[in-house]
């Protein structure tokens, strides 16, 4: 049978759905909404493998609703509008409105999310979104205000054990094998609370074993260590390990940084993905404390593409260690975020006339470029003049960090600007 175990075990009804009792258990908020027939638009927020897509499908089936699904990875505004048209065509004879499920809704742009608003407001569709990212940051306020947010949690150890036992007893393939679980710990640990990953591990262990097998912690560890596909480059481990990698560099721990680098390399992570993260870290977390960090990271990105694996591992290791041991500063990161916040708040303030270009006579007559002072005509290539728009004169966005390099910048700015 080609269908993966995780797909074969996907529950079809709410009573078969294991976990998330705070939402789907007897008397829980989501179950009450389903049973009452009054389903609001909502967003399911939680890590991978906790049943977001499955829950949406179960809700549609149990409420006998037409079910449309879009993935934010490969759907554009055109796809959204076409789906909404199909949904409108289903609204007749008092039939309940269709459910539109959008997987990874956090990947939708503002314009894509905007295109959903009218259909949600008019009740043409009931929206169910799924996201692994905090919707407060990734979903536009107008859409978020029209939807409830339900948080799904990592599956508990008890829920995962129930899934294992249920699969061994009921799956058409596994029940033919004599599989006994002696130890659950390794299965649970490697799954990380992700049901899909748990089923993938269970299937891997079962496929690698004889008809009769006793699952122990040692057996599971051995099989997983010899099959590194368990590093799911598209799943939660991918995000967890890259997060630990970045935070180890930021925290100036080269040993931990190299360890997580090794985790990614052995697991088959795309080396260009790793190198791109190094470029970002070099600017976001080191920045002006050591401007050479960005040069090295950029050179690394180019070098690993020319060299490839396995030698690229050495280049990545060198740069990882260098960045981890550099002085740290996020002053550039903070400065641009402050400036962008100011622009969003104030809008496009008029550029001072002295700074405007004056390629025509009319512009010169309107004083474009008048009173501009060319810095190189002055001692030390510096002259005091106001460069900010009038409404925000004297505002500071950049604050030098407390490191040796930026202390020099601080003294220079104090000498120049007072």
In this prediction, residue 150 carries a pLDDT of 92
Does the structure show a pLDDT above 90 at 354? no
Answer yes or no: do 102 and 51 share one domain.
Answer: yes
Check whether residue 196 and residue 226 sit in a common domain. Answer: yes
Q: Are residues 128 and 172 in the same domain?
A: no
Q: What average pLDDT score do residues 218-227 get?
A: 76
Residue at 104 is within a domain: yes
Residue 207 lies in a domain: yes
Query: pLDDT tens digits, residue range 81-113?
Result: 899 998 888 777 667 888 999 988 888 888 888
Q: How many percent of the chain have pLDDT more than 70?
A: 95
Residues spanned by the domain of 52: 20-151
- Domain co-membership, 33 together with 124: yes
102 lies in some domain: yes
Phi-psi region of 52 (alpha: psi -120 to 50; beta: other; left: phi over 0): alpha
Mean pLDDT computed over every residue of the chain: 86
Question: Helix, strand or coil for residue 223?
Answer: helix
Residues 255 and 187 occupy one common structural domain: no
**For residue 131, what is the domain's CATH number?**
3.40.50.300
Domain count, the chain: 4
Six-digit token string for 155: 């599956």
With bands split at pLDDT 50, 70 and 90, how would you rate the model's confidence at 238?
A: low
For 248-299, the pLDDT digits (tens) are 999 999 999 999 999 888 877 888 889 999 999 999 999 999 999 999 999 9
Residue 151 forms beta bridges with which residues? 45
74: its two tokens: 């490969």
User: What pLDDT digit, counting tens, does each position of 126-154 carry?
Assistant: 999 999 888 887 888 889 999 999 999 88
- pLDDT of 406 over the 60 cut: yes
Q: Say whether both 66 and 24 belong to one domain.
A: yes
Query: How far apart are the C-alpha atoms of 59 and 65, rounded to whole Å?
Result: 8
- Tens-place pLDDT, residues 123-132: 899 999 999 8
Torsion angle of the four alpha carbons 28, 30, 31, 33, in this order, in degrees rounded to the nearest 10: 120
| pLDDT digit string, tens, across residues 170-204 | 888 888 888 888 999 888 888 878 888 888 888 88
Please enumerate in sequence order all residues whose Cβ is within 8 A of that of 203, keeping only pairs 6 or more positions apart, or say none. 4, 5, 6
As a three-state string, the secondary structure of 259-297 is: HHHHHHHHCCCCHHHHHHHHHHHHHHHHHHHCCHHHHHH
The Cα-based distances of 345 to 305, 335, 390, 392 in angstroms read: 41, 15, 15, 12
């Amino acid at each position: 049978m080609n269908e993966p175990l995780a797909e074969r075990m996907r529950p079809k009804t709410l009573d078969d759905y294991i976990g998330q009792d705070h939402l789907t258990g007897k008397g829980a908020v989501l179950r009450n909404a389903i049973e009452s027939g009054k389903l609001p638009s909502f967003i399911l927020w939680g890590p991978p493998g906790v049943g977001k897509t499955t829950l949406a499908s179960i809700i549609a089936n149990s409420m006998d609703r037409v079910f449309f699904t879009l993935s934010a990875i490969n759907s554009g505004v055109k796809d959204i509008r076409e789906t909404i048209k199909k949904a409108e065509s289903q609204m007749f004879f008092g039939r309940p409105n269709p459910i539109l499920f959008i997987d990874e809704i956090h990947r939708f742009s503002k314009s894509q999310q905007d295109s959903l608003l009218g259909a949600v407001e008019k009740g043409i569709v009931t929206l169910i979104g799924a996201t692994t990212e905090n919707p407060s940051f990734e979903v536009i306020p107008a859409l978020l205000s029209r939807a409830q947010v339900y948080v799904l949690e990592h599956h508990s150890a008890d829920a995962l054990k129930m899934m294992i036992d249920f699969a061994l007893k009921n799956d058409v393939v596994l029940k033919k094998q004599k599989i006994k679980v002696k130890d659950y710990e390794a299965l649970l640990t490697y799954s990380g609370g992700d049901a899909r990953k748990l089923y993938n591990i269970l299937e891997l262990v079962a496929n690698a074993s004889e008809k009769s097998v006793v699952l122990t912690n040692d057996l599971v560890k051995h099989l997983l260590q010899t099959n590194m596909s368990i590093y799911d480059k598209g799943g939660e481990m991918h995000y967890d390990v890259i997060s630990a990698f970045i935070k180890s560099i930021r925290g100036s721990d080269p040993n931990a940084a190299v360890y997580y680098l090794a985790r990614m390399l052995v697991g088959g992570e795309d080396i260009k993905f790793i190198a791109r993260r190094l470029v970002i870290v070099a600017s976001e977390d080191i920045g002006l404390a050591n401007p050479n960090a960005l040069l090295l990271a950029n050179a690394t990105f180019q070098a690993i593409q020319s060299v490839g694996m396995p030698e690229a591992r050495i280049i990545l290791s060198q740069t990882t260690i260098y960045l981890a041991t550099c002085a740290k500063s996020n002053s550039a990161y903070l400065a641009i975020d402050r400036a962008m916040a100011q622009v969003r708040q104030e809008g496009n303030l008029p550029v001072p006339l002295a700074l405007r270009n004056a390629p025509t006579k009319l512009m010169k007559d309107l004083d474009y470029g008048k009173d501009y002072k060319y810095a190189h005509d002055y001692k030390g290539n510096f002259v005091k003049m106001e460069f900010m728009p009038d409404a925000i004169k004297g505002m500071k966005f950049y604050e030098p960090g407390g490191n040796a390099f930026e202390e020099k910048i601080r003294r220079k700015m104090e000498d120049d600007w007072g």
